[in-house]
Amino acid sequence: MVYPTEFCCLIIYFLTSQTSSIMSLKLGDTAPNFTAVTTAGEINLYDYLGDSWGLLFSHPADYTPVCTTELGRTAALKAEFDKRNVKVLALSVDSLESHNGWVNDINETQNATVNFPIIADESREVANLYGMIHPNASDTLTVRSVFIIDPDKKIKLTLTYPASTGRNFLEILRVIDSLQLTAHHSVATPADWKDGEDCVVSPSIPTEEIPAKFPKGFKLIKPYLRMTPQPNKD
């Protein structure tokens, strides 16, 4: 016999588990659009990105030490994001007033000028849309989520870090270099690859077709492991 309270709990469990699986964004999914209040005024994601790439990332809370260093580091790397045509957008569930006050602290302590918008997602609308709240980590705060979005608004990378670990923003730039390279050339990038280093010829290219496609040459290490100089570098 199932009692009314148990029945309600079952329904709630079913609905929340369905919602969280629907909201789990995967690589290749279209990044959901939204309009949100930010430190740079109201922003519509798609309008903000235009034809650019996007970096949407969340942090747990304002006025916290690791987040302060992360946002300062992102600001300091603005020229690198610009060079790659990447628009940056941060998010936490704190208020606009809190963000504006905290930005002064970031600028003061991190020798930076915060130069990208921070979403004030007090309603958690965007956080829920992007699955940035992981209830078993925290019921209320966003974790350190990262979404890289391509100009077609497809999600090309997701990363999730816990509150206690600050992200490596040079790694985020490195991944963007790989994503932008592999979007236009039939290569993949090996472990620890950095811009300018040799690449792996895509497994879909038969070895006999490599000379025509990769005029800089290639090295056959194994039939499935063919290396070539980075195609878009002189």
Distance CA 211, CA 204 (A): 14
Minimum Å gap between C-beta 66 and ligand BEZ is 3
Q: Which of 179, 140, 139 is nearest to 159 (CA)?
A: 179
221 close to 213: Cβ distance less than 8 angstroms = no
Distant-in-sequence, close-in-space partners of 69: CB < 8 Å, separation ≥ 6 = 110, 166
Task: Note the maximum CA span of the chain.
Answer: 74
Least distance (Å) between residue 38 CB and ligand BEZ? 20
Cα 67 to Cα 165: distance, rounded to the nearest angstrom: 10
| Residues 156-195, interacting with ligand BEZ (CB under 6 A) | 163-164
Where does this chain touch ligand BEZ (CB under 6 A) — which range of 58-66, 107-115, 183-191, 210-218? Answer: 58-66
Taken as a whole, the chain contains a residue count of 234
Q: Does 64 bind ligand BEZ (CB under 6 A)?
A: yes
Angle at 49 between CA 43 and CA 53, to 5 degrees: 145
Nearer to ligand BEZ, 52 or 138 (CB): 138
Size of residue set near ligand BEZ by CB under 6 A: 8
The verdict on 137 binding ligand BEZ (CB under 6 A) reads no
Q: Shortest gap between Cβ of 118 and ligand BEZ (angstroms)?
A: 14
Cβ 192 to ligand BEZ shortest distance, Å: 27
Burial state string for 33-47 with b = 16 or more CB within 10 A and e = fewer than 16: ebebbbbeeebebee
- Which run of H or of E encompasses 118? strand 118-120
Does residue 61 touch ligand BEZ according to CB under 6 A? yes
Q: What are phi and psi of 188, to 5 degrees?
A: -125, 165
> Which entry of 8, 9, 67, 199 is annotated as an active-site residue?
67
Q: Which is nearer to ligand BEZ, 66 or 96 (CB)?
A: 66
Taking the complex as a whole, how short is the minimal distance between the CB of residue 167 and ligand BEZ, in angstroms? 11
Query: Is residue 8 annotated as a catalytic residue, yes or no?
Result: no
- Which one of the spans 9-17, 48-56, 65-73, 76-84 is the region binding ligand BEZ (CB under 6 A)? 65-73
In the complex with ligand BEZ, which residue's Cβ is closer, 45 or 172?
172
Binding site for ligand BEZ (CB under 6 A): 60-61, 64-67, 163-164
Residue numbers annotated as active site: 67
